[in-house]
């Protein structure tokens, strides 16, 4: 199983959780993507007006890059080796050495510089994760979780994608397991990870994260009524892009977590988690409706004034539904 020629590619919903599911399954610990996502307590919400992407604030629907890897280490006892490099040549040399040892290697990259991405799908996002499986001559064989099949990239192209500058610069980041547990105490780790997620969303002390972050964003949406119309439309369009295009999105992560709750319910025979799964699916649908509401408001053919109040109220309604769900999850054990 340690030989990279035995690797089996699979398509996933999200890059980091997909990479970890593939990697652990390859090395003998089969974990589904939802289980990886749930056990790492990666579901969050954060509105960070002081962190800019193309001049607009960062809106996150999951924890920061690498947190799924780090979260799994804490929850199941996994040990990972993470390496970064100051020089691109060093990073490429190290990657080639690990591949020559028969390892599959996780890497953080920029979507914009990956040559197999269609031009219309490229944007400057520097935290896209993938697995480098092998190298033949000057070409890397890559398992990118968001693609149906294995893809390829020349050495120079992958090196550029790994050493791009800017927000969340990857610095050639590579990672691979050094210890994988043979078994998981599911009743213990499922309860712990779910309660951690619920507490993070319900009780975070800062106003920019969790449910407070949702209300904070709703407040800023209302303020757009006093702003320049062009900026207001850019801001609202940015919300959709962050939700539906970058990093799986608000609805997508809720669907993944719903699948985790369903799988967890079956594993530990907890019916309350199955009920919570159904509610989370409905909340995912609400996030999709929120995005559609914005899309209709900012489309060029719309001649009506933008209903900032209605958009903000919709977001607050979602926050209230999530609050009820997390409270129910705290009572599920």
Mean pLDDT of the chain: 92
Beta bridge partners of 176: 81
State how far the Cα of 75 lies from the Cα of 141, in Å rounded to an integer.
Answer: 31
Average pLDDT over residues 240-254: 71
Kindly tell me if the per-residue pLDDT of 247 is higher than 60. no
Mean pLDDT of all residues in 30-49: 94
Please name which of 179, 196, 243 lies closest in space to residue 217, comparing C-alpha atoms.
Answer: 243
pLDDT band at 3 (very low <50, low <70, confident <90, very high): low
Q: How high is the pLDDT of residue 170?
A: 93
Q: Which tens digits make up the pLDDT trace of 78-113?
A: 999 999 999 999 999 999 999 999 999 999 999 899
The reported pLDDT for the residue numbered 64 is 80
User: Which domains does the chain show, CATH number per domain?
Assistant: 4-30+79-179 (3.90.70), 186-330 (no CATH)
Rounded mean pLDDT, 130-151:
94
CB 123 within 8 A of CB 111: yes
How far, in Å, CA of 34 to CA of 258, rounded? Answer: 8
Q: What is the mean pLDDT of residues 62-87?
A: 93
Residue 54 binned pLDDT confidence (cut-offs 50, 70, 90) = confident
Q: Give the 3-state secondary structure of residue 316.
A: helix
- Position 249 scores a pLDDT of 57
C-beta of residue 96 within 8 angstroms of C-beta of residue 85? no
66 or 151, greater pLDDT: 151
Q: Which residues lie closer than 8 Å to 180 by C-beta, 6 or more apart?
A: 24, 27, 28, 29, 78, 79
Rounded distance, CA 78 to CA 27, Å?
12
How far is CA 53 from each of CA 142, 167, 238, 257, rounded to the nearest angstrom?
Answer: 27, 8, 9, 26
* 333 has a pLDDT exceeding 80: yes
Residue 1 in this model has a pLDDT that exceeds 60: no
144 vs 31: CA distance, rounded Å: 17
Condensed to tens digits (0 to 9), the pLDDT of residues 259-296 reads 999 999 999 999 999 999 999 999 999 999 999 999 99
Q: What is the pLDDT of residue 125?
A: 79
């Amino acid at each position: 199983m340690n030989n990279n020629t035995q690797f089996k590619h699979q398509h996933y919903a999200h890059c980091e959780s997909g990479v970890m599911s593939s990697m652990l399954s390859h090395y003998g610990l089969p974990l589904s993507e939802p289980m990886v996502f749930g056990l790492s307590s990666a579901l969050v919400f954060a509105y960070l007006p002081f962190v800019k992407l193309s001049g607009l604030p960062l809106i996150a629907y999951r924890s920061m890059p690498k947190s799924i890897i780090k979260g799994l280490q804490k929850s199941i006892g996994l040990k990972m080796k993470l390496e970064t490099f100051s020089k691109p040549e060093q990073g490429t040399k190290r990657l080639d050495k690990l591949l020559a040892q028969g390892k599959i290697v996780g890497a953080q990259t920029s979507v914009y510089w990956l040559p197999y991405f269609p031009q219309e799908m490229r944007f400057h996002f520097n935290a896209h994760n993938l697995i480098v499986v092998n190298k033949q001559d000057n070409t890397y064989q890559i398992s990118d979780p968001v693609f149906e099949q294995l893809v390829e990239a020349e050495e120079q192209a992958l090196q550029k994608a790994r050493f791009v500058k800017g927000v969340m610069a990857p610095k050639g980041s590579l990672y691979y397991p050094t210890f994988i547990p043979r078994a998981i105490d599911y009743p213990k780790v499922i309860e712990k990870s779910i309660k951690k997620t619920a507490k993070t969303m319900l009780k975070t002390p800062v106003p920019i994260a969790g449910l407070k972050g949702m209300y904070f964003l709703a407040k800023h949406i209302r303020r757009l009524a006093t702003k320049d119309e062009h900026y207001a439309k850019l801001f609202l369009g940015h919300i959709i892009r962050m939700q539906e295009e970058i990093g799986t999105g608000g609805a997508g992560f809720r669907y993944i977590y719903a699948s985790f709750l369903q799988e967890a319910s079956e594993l530990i025979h907890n019916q309350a988690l199955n009920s919570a799964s159904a509610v989370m699916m409905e909340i995912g649908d609400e996030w999709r409706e929120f995005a559609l509401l914005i899309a209709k408001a900012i489309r060029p053919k719309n001649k009506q004034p933008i209903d900032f109040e209605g958009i903000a109220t919709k977001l607050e309604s979602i926050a209230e539904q999530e609050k009820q769900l997390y409270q129910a999850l705290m009572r599920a054990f």
